[in-house]
Structure 1
Amino acid sequence: MRRSLLGITAITIAFAAGCANSTDPTGAPPAPATSAAVAATAPSPTPAEAVDAAATIDRLKAADLGLTGTAVQDEDTDPNKLFGRPNGYTSRASADLPGGDTGAEPYTIARGLVVEGFPDADSLQRRSKYILGLLKDSPALGTEWHYTTGTTLVRVSGEVKPSLAKKIEAAL
């Protein structure tokens, strides 16, 4: 059995290598797929000013928007387990907002507001698109407003009144 698996693996590798070395009808070798795909789908992000999640929470608190229960998360208190991890955020903070569920799990979007700081604008956009895509495909999960400031994503629960969400956007 082991010998037949090795044989199948070897044939698969040989076949893949043969396909990778094919040329187009003009005889020119194919362009590397990775660079063409990246160039076509991901334009270079413009540099964005790095903003820490705690600084953003402080700015929103100063705007007197009704934030309570503000907290800065770390790798031990992050409910998503993304803090400091690959493809995760570099800072995170949360707060309760009027309209949010103060009985929900601590530090979650259900309580009203979450701020996530990223190392670059591309990481921020990927995270925002991922979350909004999940919410669009599964409406039972709820809704959120997403605002950005520098490399920080400000997420506001869809349970918060739209008028308050607009005030948060203006305060950023």
Structure 2
Amino acid sequence: MGIPKFYRWLSERYPTCSQLISFTHIPEFDNLYLDMNGIIHKWSHNEHSLQISEARMFINIFSYIEHLFEKIKPKKLFFLAIDGVAPRAKMNQQRRRRFRTAKNAEKARRKMILKGEDPPAEAPFDSNCITPGTEFMAKLSNHLRYFINKKITDDASWRGVVIVLSGHETPGEGEHKIMEYIRHA
């Protein structure tokens, strides 16, 4: 959902933070902060079908992280923040959205049956799994830790950078965790 008016505040205070750059000349950056939930949602859906394997999802997510790291080349810090348990005020909003998502998925399934189409034998990925504390998020966090350790071991450009993973088990939304880290750095 984001922090209300954050982008406007950021772009007014730091006008050069949002600008078109050519891929032939990318400026140098000390730090790269990623709010991972947008990335997780983007790469957990397949454009061509309803179904995508968990393994493919993880590969997509890790490839995208690798792509961003290679383009930006942070010199000091790479911070990845996955949403943890949200503040109480936001929980009801999230609950409504998750119920609506599940209801819409069931409607789409019934619609396929009414049209005479066969719904997929395997249930499509439920994006409600992208929730702190779920088995999916625990697996993703474990695989992400492994991926990061492997990159540090195999890729020299990852070794000189402090890498922080704030996982789903740490309370707070990704963007709030990032701001908290910046405040205390």
The alignment's TM-score, normalised by the length of structure 1, stands at: 0.28
The alignment's TM-score, normalised by the length of structure 2, stands at: 0.27
Bigger radius of gyration among the two:
1
Structure with higher helix content: 2
Structure with higher strand content: 1
